[in-house]
Amino acid sequence: TVIGTDPATDLAVVKIDGSDDLPVASFGDSDNLQVGETAIAIGNPLGLEFQGTVTVGVISALNRSLDDVDQRFKLIQTDAAINPGNSGGPLVNYYGQVVGITTSKIVSETYEGMGFAIPSQTVKSIVDTLIKNGYVEGRVKIGISGIAVTSDQASNYNIPQGIYVQSIVSGGPCDGTSLEEGDIITEVDGETITSFADVYAILETHKPGDKIKVKYYSSSSGDGEVEITLQEDK
């Protein structure tokens, strides 16, 4: 039975009735991790044919941010091989304690050994609130999707850095305002933003119902500003 889900982290809590004797993995404390520690990933790359594959590396870095619309949390970086089929699997330490849940990797011909995991302390916090409420309580949203404008793009096209608005969520905080698809959000709550990491850092300081100002650039009308009321991101 699904108890609750969190699309932002791709985590869920499920309840299995009548199975009190299932083997379990114990959680470690990701706050105590140090760069260079052993990191072991377990997953099913290429599906069930290779289920239970174990790869070993180290903790490469801590508190990493990925500029992705769906990624708002600091991550553990590891060079343990992460493949499709690892996502959702554990990242464990030398003692077999789960210190993270693998979530993504950077795929490129230029880079390798750059995998990422949600820290166990973040996972435990989310799991606790999912069990309690069925959703993550208190998280807010501004109700847009988009992509970050890089410094090179800003220079080449003579536009400001910020978040290029690809879509506005119907019924969301920005719906019905002067903000439109194609505009570039440059400032949120008085802070200049150049990435989604900047936006999420600001949202983490607010609660549902708070009013904030959003400044933006429009190619047709120039600079603009709207005041929005933040909604709970259920």
Q: What is the pLDDT of residues 22-62, one digit of tens each?
A: 888 999 999 999 999 999 999 998 888 888 899 999 999 99
Predicted local confidence at residue 21, as pLDDT = 83
Predicted local confidence at residue 32, as pLDDT = 94
Predicted local confidence at residue 159, as pLDDT = 93
Taking 50 as the pLDDT cut, the residues of the chain under it are 69
Q: For residue 27, what is the DSSP state?
A: B
* Three-class HEC string of 50-114: HCCEEEEEEEEEEEECCCCCCCCCCEEEECCCCCCCCCCCEEECCCCCEEEEEEEECCCCCCCCC
Predicted local confidence at residue 69, as pLDDT = 45
Predicted local confidence at residue 71, as pLDDT = 60
d(CA 177, CA 227): 8
- pTM attached to this predicted model: 0.73
